[in-house]
Structure 1
Amino acid sequence: MHPQTTCQSLTSRYRDSGSAYVVKASSLYDISEKSVKERASMPVRTKKSRERDYLILDIHYLHVILLLEAYEIKRTEEMVLWLKDLDNDAKKDILVSIEILKEFGPRLGRPHVDTITGSKIKNLKELRVNSKNRPFRIFFVFDPKRNAILLIGGNKATSKKFYPNMIKKSEELYSEYLGDL
């Protein structure tokens, strides 16, 4: 049985009351396997319950939305050149992290992504990749269209001034990118 059909049958059953209903949570998991007659006899109450296995549902505003979205990943020329110069193990680990970023987008957080402070770019972030005890960092930002722009990458262990240098270069590259839009 399609979830929308289930929602419609419950909605038509309680169309006129307009109040919240409490439905046992365990019955929601296997609702698609039940017949229409069985679903009609499911425990639906109009009073509030303090038990944890109950959910309050407002039938008139119940919507199920499945959002499967992969974010677009764009790379600067500098990023592509840097990536080409790496060994295969590092490339593989970095590409796995980029795929994770592509799947989760702005929702991805630590330990994969961290926000950079001290930059003129408000939402400058770093993709954190460790490959054979080498701490690679890829600086990126989400543009106004919510695309991830991989600006530049580097090995954090190579310089004490890694972050100031990378922040400056990232700001320059992002300004160029915005100018090209």
Structure 2
Amino acid sequence: MRHDAYCSRVPWRVVFHPSVVEWLQSLEPRELESFMRAVMMLEDFGPSLGRPIVGTLKGSRFNNLKELRPLSTSLRCLFAFDLKRTAILLVAGDKSLAWKSWYQSSIPIAEKRFLAHLEERSD
């Protein structure tokens, strides 16, 4: 008998920061479809999802702050997993016109929002 017959796969939960929801509303249908496909993969595979969909970040004080990289786009979304099997999508944008500076401005915002999420969850 197969081992996976006994193991039910529990998807990871994904939570969108309100600013990410607002940003998603500005996307073209093709971009939105690509982004949501990446989100579904994140739900299915959690922290084990790697390149090309998820990348690590340099310059963050949180090791678990990552970037979601929808295929064939310059769209990016910074996110982190908490201890309750939840990925929090913190900051999103199109880095096509600002490849390096996008991270410099977005990482501190993502860190602040992640800290707020952790404090909220500990109450």
TM-score range, shorter chain: 0.7 to 0.9
Aligned residue among 52, 60, 69 for 1:111: 52
Q: Which residue of 2 aligns with 1:74?
A: 15
Q: What's the offset of the Cα at 1:144?
A: 1.3
The residue number in structure 1 matching 2:94 is: 155
Taking the aligned partners of 1:174 and 1:163, their CA distance within structure 2 comes to 16
User: Would you say the 8 A contact 1:125–1:139 is kept in 2?
Assistant: yes
Q: Which amino acid aligns with 1:102?
A: E
Match of 1:20 in 2: none
CA deviation vs aligned residue, 1:19-74 (integer Å, no higher than 9, x gap):
xxxxxxxxxx9xxxxxxxxxxxxxxxxxxxxxxxxxxxxxxxx9974231211111
1:1-181 pair list within 5 angstroms: 3=1, 65-131=6-72, 134-159=73-98, 160-181=100-121
SS at 1:120's partner residue? coil
Q: Find the aligned partners of 1:130 and 1:65 in 2 and give their Cα distance.
A: 33
Paired with 1:103 and 1:112, the residues of 2 have a C-alpha distance of 12
Structure 1 gaps of 5+ residues are 4-28, 30-61
Q: Specify which structure has the bigger relative contact order, considering alpha-carbon pairs within 8 angstroms and separated by 6 or more residues.
A: 2
TM-score (norm 2): 0.88
Q: Secondary structure at 1:129's aligned position in 2?
A: coil
Answer yes or no: is the 8 Å Cα contact 1:82–1:152 preserved in 2.
no
Secondary structure of 2:38's aligned partner: helix
The one-letter code of the counterpart of 1:174 is: F
Pair member with larger Rg: 1
Structure 1 residues 145 and 89, CA, compared in 2 at 3 Å: closer, same or farther?
same
| 1:158, distance to aligned residue in structure 2 (A) | 2.5
Identity of aligned residues (%): 33
Which runs of no fewer than 5 residues in structure 2 stay unpaired? Answer: none
Runs of 4+ in structure 1 over 3 Å off = 62-65
Distance 1:138 1:86 in 2: 13
C-alpha change, 1:64 and 1:96, in structure 2 (3 Å) is closer
CA RMSD of aligned residues (A): 2.0
